[in-house]
Amino acid sequence: MKKLNLTLLGLTLSALMQNAHAIEKTYSLPLSNPGEPVSLEIEVHTGAIYIEGFDGESIEVTATMEEIATNELNKVERIINDVTAELSDGRGNNIEKIGEIISGHTNKHKRKLRSAEGLKSVKNNSMQLEIEEEDNEVEISSEYSTQNVILHIKVPKRTRLDIELYKGGDVEINNISGAIEAEAFKGSIIANGVSGPMVAETHNTDIVVSFDVLNQQNPTSLTSHSGNIDISINKNTSAKINVQSYKGEIFSGLATEFFASEDVQRKNKGGKQKIVIGGMMSAEVNGGGQDITLATYNGNVYVRTK
Amino acid sequence: MNHQTIIDWKLSNINKNVTAELVLTDEMQQYIEFHPELVKELAFIDAFWQQDNQELPSSELDQRFYNMLSQAQNAQQNIDTNQAAKQSKQVHIFTVIKNWLSTSTIKPFAQFATLGLVFLLGFNANDSRDEIGQQGQNLAANLAAKNGIDNLQQEVSSLSAMLALSMLDKSSAAERLSGVAYSQQTDLTDPLLMKTLMSTLEHDRSTAVKLAIINTLNNLPDISEQEHQLLAFTIKENNTLVKIELCRLLFNIGSSVTKNELLKALNESELNPDMAEFLQRINAISHI
């Protein structure tokens, strides 16, 4: 039975791979006002976003669109991973059930097929992607569609980013000195060589940020419900790092100690005694500076120096 | 009527606050005309709000804010230092004279001569300058400086509140976070600022901003005016992190009535495992 199910998985995978095809297009948008502040707002329903800061005065966009079949492929890949894990775990209790689900999924697709005799296949090359630029304000959007949108974007380093990604892969940001706001519902947010301020939020995935120089004008805040938060700061960076972790652990490479209110503490305020439950843990690095707040419910928090 | 009344009217007017009285009365107009510094402040508020596309508080504005703060701190320090130095000097001189006069080895003639000399010096000094009058003038100057500092602190608080209100209205979460940080620099007595914070807490889509506002409210000595609203927010909140922090806030500084209502509502509702675990912990702690 196990062998049958694995064969079924393999067939589904190869069928989906045959259906998958990608379109890639490149766009270059010169800025209306070179040297002035730039902002980039991206909203993608399904896909991945990679942003790189560079020394130019234009926005370079490479968009790869994949049919939704590729998403199905990803789903099957995930199922195979789960099945493999079950097998290596020695339990294998759910394999039959998984096989049934995949069989049902394949049959559902088969039912949609009708006779194409005498017809030729026409590939959908239209891109469901909008790019607009006005006075250095750029908007890129791909709302709900049957396409997986993968964006590789080069922007001036000073660009201010506002990114939302609902499904698919990760958001990756490199070498940006402008303010960053990012939200990813299913994928991770990974940023390297950024200065902040940064406000990022994920649900079940990690946020990994390596700060270059920390912006001291505005606070930074990273929040994840169930993902880990991992930050790296330079040894000479001044900051006040606040951590709110409910069930996870905190791992610190800082020379400065974290201090915290006790789990249950009694406080006097205005002559009134009250019980304070929980609280934040904070560390003032190099005498303290702008706030970096890290909040996660189930994940761990890692604070590193470099 | 004071400066704050006029500033509140101005802010309500700018924000088209429907509940506030927007008509400028004759009395208010006269008050404004009588205070040129208030006219300047109102002009500044107008200019501040009328600037479209203002990204962040400008460095000039920031510099003004910190200069004002620095001036206030320096003025306070100078007063304290001068008073301490004067007191120390007076005590020192009297102690020396007292010790010298009480020394048994000094002959009575020398003591008499010294007392005479002190009398003469005192008479001349009193004649040339009225010492008591001088002390009174110093006291008045100190009081004026103290009032100036109070006014300056009020202005700083008012400026922070204005900045906070402006930043909380921005579309960027990073800027709204800055708005919350500015609000922490005020005493949160400005009703418009509190109303904006509560509205942002209810509607903002950023978890970070909501958590920052809850942390700000946690520093208030009393939240009785906001408790009812906060209880409603807590019950309807879907974001677990925010819901837990709201619960924590109400359990920390809420009244016992609110705490009981919250516990009842949570026990009756269908909770996700994280919330259920938190509630269990709260119930355990409440027995301590």
Best mutation target, B177, B180, B183, to test chain A (most A CBs within 10 A): B177
Query: Shortest CA distance to A201 belongs to which of B230, B200, B177, B218?
Result: B177
Q: Decide which of B9, B28, B52 is a domain's last residue.
A: B52
Q: Where are the domains of chain A?
A: 2-12+69-108, 188-306
Measured between beta carbons, which residues in chain A are less than 8 angstroms from residue B173? 181, 199, 221
State pLDDT tens for residues B183-224.
988 878 888 999 999 999 999 989 999 999 998 898 887 788
Question: Which of A162, A220, A269 has its CB closest to that of B221?
Answer: A269
In a domain, B270, yes or no: no
Of B96, B128, B150, the position where a domain reaches its end is B150
Sort out which chain A residues have CB atoms less than 8 A from B166's CB and list them.
none
Q: Does the predicted interface ipTM exceed a cut of 0.90?
A: no
- Indicate yes or no: CB of A280 within 8 angstroms of CB of B178: no
Of B32, B52, B72, the last residue of a domain is: B52
In a domain, B161, yes or no: no
Handedness of CA A63, A65, A71, A73 (dihedral sign): negative
Assigned domain for B95 exists: yes
* ∠ Cα A107 A110 A111 (to 5°): 90
CA distance B115 to chain A (A): 54
The domain total for chain B is 2
State the Cα–Cα distance between residues A130 and B2, nearest whole angstrom. 54
How many contiguous H segments (helices) and E segments (strands) does chain B have? 13, 0
Residue B9 falls inside a structural domain: yes
Residues 6+ apart with CB under 8 A from A264: A275, A276, A277, B285, B288
Shortest distance between the Cα of B1 and any Cα of chain A, in A, equals 29
Calpha distance A262→A51 (Å, rounded): 41
Q: Does B87 map to a domain?
A: yes
CB contact at 8 A, A220 and A293: yes
Decide the pairing of beta strands A207-211 and A39-54: unpaired
Residue A145 distance to chain B (closest CA, Å)? 24
My answer on whether B77 and B143 are in the same domain is yes
Amino acid type, B238: N
B76 and B130 co-located in one domain: yes
On whether residue B187 sits in a domain, the answer given is no
| Structural domain that includes position B88 | 59-150
Substitution target in A277, A282, A291, A294 with the highest count of B β-carbons within 10 Å is A277
Residue A198 with chain B: CB contacts under 8 Å = 174
| Partner-chain contact A276 B252, CB within 8 Å | yes
**A287: contact with B, CB 8 A cutoff:** no
Are B73 and B10 part of one and the same domain? no
The C-alpha of B253 sits at a distance from chain A's nearest C-alpha, in angstroms, of 7
Do B12 and B95 have their domain in common? no
Total H helices, total E strands in chain A: 3, 21
What is the Cα–Cα distance from A199 to A194, expressed in whole angstroms? 12
Flag if B282 and A298 touch (Cβ within 8 Å): no
Q: Is residue B206 part of a domain?
A: no
CA distance A75 to A88: 20
Question: Percentage of residues in chain B with pLDDT exceeding 90?
Answer: 13
Q: Examine residue B176 and state whether it is found in any structural domain, yes or no.
A: no
Interface test with B, best of A181, A183, A203 (most B CBs within 10 A): A181
Q: For B147-181, what is each residue's pLDDT tens digit? A: 777 777 777 777 888 889 989 998 888 889 999 99
Cross-chain residue pair A291–B181, CB shorter than 8 Å:
yes
> How confident is the prediction along chain A (306 residues), in pLDDT tens digits per residue?
434 343 334 434 444 444 456 788 899 999 999 999 999 999 998 899 999 999 999 999 999 887 765 555 566 666 666 665 555 544 445 556 666 666 665 555 555 667 888 887 776 666 678 898 999 999 999 876 677 899 999 999 999 999 999 988 899 999 999 999 999 988 999 999 999 899 999 988 999 999 998 988 889 999 998 899 999 999 999 999 999 888 888 999 998 888 875 444 444 444 444 445 556 888 999 988 899 999 998 899 999 998
Cβ neighbours of residue A125 closer than 8 Å, sequence gap 6 or more: A23
Closest-CA distance, A293 to chain B, in angstroms, reads 8
Q: Clarify whether residues B93 and B128 are in a common domain.
A: yes
Cis peptide bond upstream of B273, omega within 30: no
